[in-house]
Amino acid sequence: MISKLLRRFQYINYRLSSKLIIAYIILTVIPMALLGYFSFVQYKKSIEEQIGEYMPRFLRQANANIEKQVEEVMALPKLLLNSESTLAILRKDSYQSRADQNKDRFTVNNYLARTYLNGMNEDVIGVFVLSKNRLFYSSKIKFTGLDWEKLLIPYGQDMDLRGKEKITLPNETKLRFEGGVPYVLFMKQIQDVDNRKDLGTMFIAVKLTFIDRILMDFEQNNNAKMWIANRRGNIIYHTDPNAIGTTDPSVRDYPIWNGSFRVSKGKELQLISVTESKSFDGILVHSIPLQDLTARTDMTRKITILIFICFVMITTLFAVMFVLRVTRPIKRLIRLMKEAERGKFQLDLKTHSRDEVGTLARSFNSMMTTIRDLIEKNYDIKIRQQEAELYALQSQINPHFMYNTLETISMAIEEGEADMAVDMVTQLGRMLRYSVENTSNFVPVSEELQHVVDYLTIQKFRFEDRLVFEIIRKSDPGFFYMPKFILQPVVENAIKYGLESRERLDIEISISKESGTRSGDTAIVFRVRDNGPGIKRERLEEVEKSLKTGTLSGKKSQFGLGNVNARIVMIHGPEYGLQLHSVDGKGTEVTIRIPLITMMDRFNLEQGEEDNHASNTDVNCG
């Protein structure tokens, strides 16, 4: 089955026009399409490589700007040392009263507000000083999470950073500003230079908008994203505020922390560029979908595709015109050859070209001339001979049958069996009408069966109990047709040889529908069985061979069988006809196989016979 399908789709079996068009597509359209495709892929790859090279450089520059901003924030605690009154308060170890403590807190808080919140740095939203279990603060926004009355740090146990700065993320402290303002907390110790002691720790809360200002100049694509994450994947800053404070576990799986690489997120490929951030002890990340990298080339790509389509359409039009010009005379030759297959040989393929097609046309005209000569000399003579043999057969059978039938009717009248005589006359008249009135070569199956029944009934009147017959309809023939006078010669042959050697002859005629010799076809099969003497093996082989070669028509013994087989083969082809199955001394079975002929098939067959007759007439006239 698979091999048949492969053979069906083989290039060698296509029409010439299809082959030429396919060759054009393979040699022109496909290479151009592949060239355009690979060019675009290479161009897209080059853009990706360029972005992958210079984006880490931009990130490093952005990271340097961020570090510079962080250094400026880390220098802010030194401003506290410029106020002698503030230093004096921070040097105090204890208070005599609550009022003194509140007064000092008010003084320090005012200083923090004036120095850090009023124009020093617009990104600073809060300043907190923890000194000897005391909390001084000033904030632009209300906050929660820090309450100096509930601080549990023992006296003298202030936070010890050992002289280093530290950056604290929101998820590492309980400090929260109203409205959920994202921030980062810078921590640095305050050292008393004169006494070389630590006076406390300053916390400066800075809004992350300072990072926005730094990064906004690097990327204008709406689908691009930038963020800062520490080494554990905690996102400190993100261009999407909703992502700040979340965790990105994929950070740990990044193949490099200084460079670019591709990552698949769902159905989308993204180009990730990474550089390390010393300020936040993490990485600065830039992400952009790969399809956005070539977004600006969409117009060029669309114009290129449009030009390519127009080029293909124009060249295909010229190719089709060329193919039609080449194949038109070949198609005309094929059409004339099909006409010749149907028996029309008065054909002439006119062409003036001297190429291969012209040579083929002249050879075809020469062949038609030769065929017409052969038909005049051989074919027409053979057809006339077969028609003469058929006429001779009918002339041989009918008078003999008529003589015996009339003699039987006469005897029945003499013996006073008027009813039997009437029946025989009725059936004989119906048989004569069937033979004379119906001039068509194809008759309904039911009429052919009725004709055989009438013939057997008349023979039974003659031979009485010596002849027994039965008609078995395994399938309803319906309104199907068959060639005329097919069954009677076979039945007559069985009666002729069977009653010569049997006291009683049983004849069984069955009709059924079976699968045809070709896939999808349906055939009507008649089987005529008798219990006659049968045919010897050597004679049976001789008869079968004669049926296949068509030489049986000259034999008197099987003159009817040969004629029936020849008619079926001539009309329907060699796959249909007669088959003999016989056992010497036991009986014979003749199988007649014809195709299922509908009313439309009958019309086409009769029309074909008329065309053949007209063609033969034309040839003879020529």
Cβ count within 10 A of residue 234: 20
Query: Considering the domain boundaries, does residue 18 fall inside one?
Result: no
Instruction: Choose the final residue of a domain: 185, 212, 239.
Output: 212
What are the angstrom distances between the C-alpha of 205 and each of 167, 170, 278, 578? 10, 10, 19, 109
This prediction's pTM: 0.44
Per-residue confidence at 157, pLDDT binned at 50, 70, 90? Answer: very low
Those residues with Cβ within 8 angstroms of residue 348's Cβ, 6 or more apart along the chain or in another chain: 365, 368
Q: How many residues does the chain have?
A: 622
Q: Are 186 and 167 in contact (CB under 8 A)?
A: yes
What are the angstrom distances between the C-alpha of 432 and each of 425, 451, 483? 10, 10, 17
Q: Which amino acid would we find at residue 378? A: N
Those residues with Cβ within 8 angstroms of residue 346's Cβ, 6 or more apart along the chain or in another chain: 372, 615, 618, 619, 622
Q: CA angle 94-100-106, nearest 5°? A: 110
What are the angstrom distances between the C-alpha of 336 and each of 131, 150, 330? 113, 111, 10
Dihedral (C-alpha) 339, 343, 346, 349: value to the nearest 10 degrees?
Answer: 30
The CATH number for 121's domain is 3.30.450
Instruction: Choose the final residue of a domain: 152, 187, 212.
Output: 212
Burial readout 163-182 (b: 16 or more C-beta within 10 A, e: otherwise)? eeebbebbeeeebebeeebb
What are the angstrom distances between the C-alpha of 119 and each of 70, 116, 122, 501? 17, 7, 6, 138
The number of distinct structural domains making up the chain is 2
Query: Considering the domain boundaries, does residue 397 fall inside one?
Result: yes
pLDDT of 154 higher than 60: no
pLDDT of 271 higher than 50: yes
Query: Considering the domain boundaries, does residue 457 fall inside one?
Result: yes
Query: Considering the domain boundaries, does residue 595 fall inside one?
Result: yes
DSSP code of 414?
H
Q: Are 371 and 616 in contact (CB under 8 A)?
A: no
Which residues form the domain of 104?
Answer: 75-212
569-616, pLDDT tens digit by residue? 877 888 889 999 998 888 999 999 998 888 887 777 766 655 555 555
493-525, pLDDT tens digit by residue? 888 888 888 889 999 999 998 886 666 678 899
276-298, pLDDT tens digit by residue? 877 777 888 888 887 776 666 66
192-246, pLDDT tens digit by residue? 877 778 888 889 998 887 787 777 766 566 778 888 888 778 887 888 878 877 8
Query: Considering the domain boundaries, does residue 222 fall inside one?
Result: no
Question: Which of 109-118, 119-128, 334-343 has the largest mean confidence?
Answer: 109-118
Query: Considering the domain boundaries, does residue 565 fall inside one?
Result: yes
Give me the helix-helix angle, 445-463 and 418-436, nearest 10°: 140
Per-residue pLDDT, 345: 66
What is the rounded distance in angstroms from the CA atom of residue 469 to the CA atom of residue 463? 12
In the chain, the percentage of residues whose pLDDT exceeds 90 is 7
Going by their DSSP bridges, the two strands 268-277 and 282-289 should be labelled as antiparallel
Those residues with Cβ within 8 angstroms of residue 87's Cβ, 6 or more apart along the chain or in another chain: 80, 81, 192, 199
Query: Considering the domain boundaries, does residue 578 fall inside one?
Result: yes
Instruction: Choose the final residue of a domain: 191, 212, 233.
Output: 212
Going by their DSSP bridges, the two strands 522-530 and 481-483 should be labelled as unpaired
Q: Which residues pair with 189 in a beta bridge?
A: 201
pLDDT of 188 higher than 70: yes
The CATH number for 604's domain is 3.30.565.10
